[in-house]
Amino acid sequence: MAEALGRIGYKEGENLFGAPYDSRYVAAPPGMSAMAFAAFTADLRRLVEHASWKNGGKPVILVTHSKGGLMAAEFLTRSATPWRRRFVVVKHLVMVSTGAGGIVVAMQSLAASAYAPPGSLARAERSYGTVFAALPSPNVFGGAPLVVTRRRNYSAHDIPEFLAAVGFSGEEVAL
């Protein structure tokens, strides 16, 4: 993506910046803290302000990919209104391949990881907040069957039952 933007005149460090994040983590629910997300948002806020300043106070366009779209959307949602009004720095948010309404692959990943050997990457993914943040939304997917098994079909409305079926405890499902 950076190469394509470079071909149309963007220059890294001048008007094109990167904001890396750890894709294992997501924002905590409102009212709860998440140190990794707090650090990311502080860094992103400084980067957005710097990019705007470096370009004469022009608004910034955030272009994200995959789970970065969820992080950026949450960053904007949780940014204080006075900051947004004072800087008016973000003009657009472009989310590329984000799956803002969730993705079926998240359910498939959790189902497959239930049978993965301990210590494997697939097993570790069960602890990544982003897998759960990417679960399909009932508002988008409705009652359509997303996971079909011999015993039962699961829709986005059935996420708690699905999580229990793939080995999460009642306490984990309640979270």
Helix axes 67-78, 35-54, angle to 10 degrees: 80
Distance CA 34, CA 106 (A): 21
Q: Which residue has the higher pLDDT, 157 or 72?
A: 157
- Tens of pLDDT along 85-107? 776 677 888 888 888 888 898 89
**And the tokens for 126?**
């069960």
Structure pTM? 0.71
Give the residue-averaged pLDDT of 4-15: 90
Domain covering 2-96, topology: Rossmann fold (3.40.50)
pLDDT confidence band for 175 (50 / 70 / 90): low
Give the residue-averaged pLDDT of 57-85: 85
Could you tell me the residue ranges of all domains in the chain?
2-96, 104-174
**And the tokens for 38?**
């707090």
Asked whether 24 and 130 are in contact (CB, 8 A), the reply is yes
Asked whether 100 and 70 are in contact (CB, 8 A), the reply is yes
Which residue, 148, 151, 173, 143, is CA-closest to 160?
A: 173
What phi-psi label fits residue 148: left (phi over 0), alpha (psi between -120 and 50 degrees) or beta?
beta
